Amino acid sequence: MSVTEKEQVRTRFSDLDTQRHTTSRTYEDSCLGDRYRILEEAGYSWKRMIEESVRLQTVGADIRFLAQQMENTELSIRTSYRSGQDGLLSFSQEVLDPNGKVAAEIRTLARTEKDGKPFQLLAAQDPSEEILSSFESVPSFSGSCERTLAERDLFFCERNPFGDYNPSHYWRLLEEGRWNFTAECGLSLEDLVAMDTTLFYMGGKIRYRKPLAAGRRAKIQTWIHSFDKIWSRMRQEVSDSETGEILAESMDDLLVVSVSKSRPKKPGEDLLKIFARVTEFPEGASK
């Protein structure tokens, strides 16, 4: 395993979201740049990759958010990686605040390919089976509940130099699905305050299946997989609105928090009732 700590990132006002802190996409985009830096140090800059039809295809990500950040903050990225056969790569990255405290952890499973076939860009260090087994699969939807639906356009202008969408674009779509989920359930900010409840997105697992197609629309379906004490496990699927093919799926960890006490709490009966029709496994049901 190799470890590096070189990338420096300064957050901007434009990185702030409605919750008044730096978006998760800022962390991911910064980590993506460091992943490409590692490939460049191995002799493959992104320009050479384009010239030789080499791609870094993201397969999965496990994410944890630990501390909120504001604008004009100097962050650094600490990256370690493992390489397996058939171009398989596992990146473990930490986003550090100016005091060295970990603000976010992002583990990324990826594969280097040439002309769509596995390409061994970095020498294999570890068994591929061991790398793959460290990324758990996301459970399939049982069909036992309703799901909310949002559709969003995929703009040509938001693609990267390879003509593809960066992983953070999937993150954007999944966040859109979470906002739409709350709206379709009829919950306003005032409703949540009245229930002394809010939900904080603390991370989760994303599995990327197929590329997003520019000029098309993505369909995002969202539902609650289950509640586990102070946690809400949310499931999402991003699919092509024309073909119906699943392009990405996620299992998100949302922390249930008391607004008045700023402390985690179990979801109240009022919240469970609102979410009942979009909950796959109610408390006590088999998973």
The residue type of 50 is: I
pLDDT tens string 39-71? 999 999 999 999 999 999 999 999 999 999 999
Beta bridge partners of 140: none
Q: What pLDDT, on the 0 to 100 scale, is given for residue 284?
A: 59
Q: What pLDDT, on the 0 to 100 scale, is given for residue 276?
A: 97
Mark 95-125 as b/e (b = at least 16 C-beta within 10 Å).
Answer: bbbeeeeebbbbbbbbbbbeeeeebebbebe
Share of the chain above pLDDT 70, in %: 97
Helix axes 167-184, 24-41, angle to 10 degrees: 160
Q: Which domains does the chain have, with CATH numbers?
A: 1-135 (3.10.129.10), 138-286 (3.10.129.10)
Q: What pLDDT, on the 0 to 100 scale, is given for residue 189?
A: 79
Which residues in the chain come in under a pLDDT of 50? none
The structure's pTM equals 0.95
Q: What pLDDT, on the 0 to 100 scale, is given for residue 52?
A: 97
Q: What pLDDT, on the 0 to 100 scale, is given for residue 222?
A: 98
The pair phi, psi for residue 85, each rounded to 5°, is -70, 165
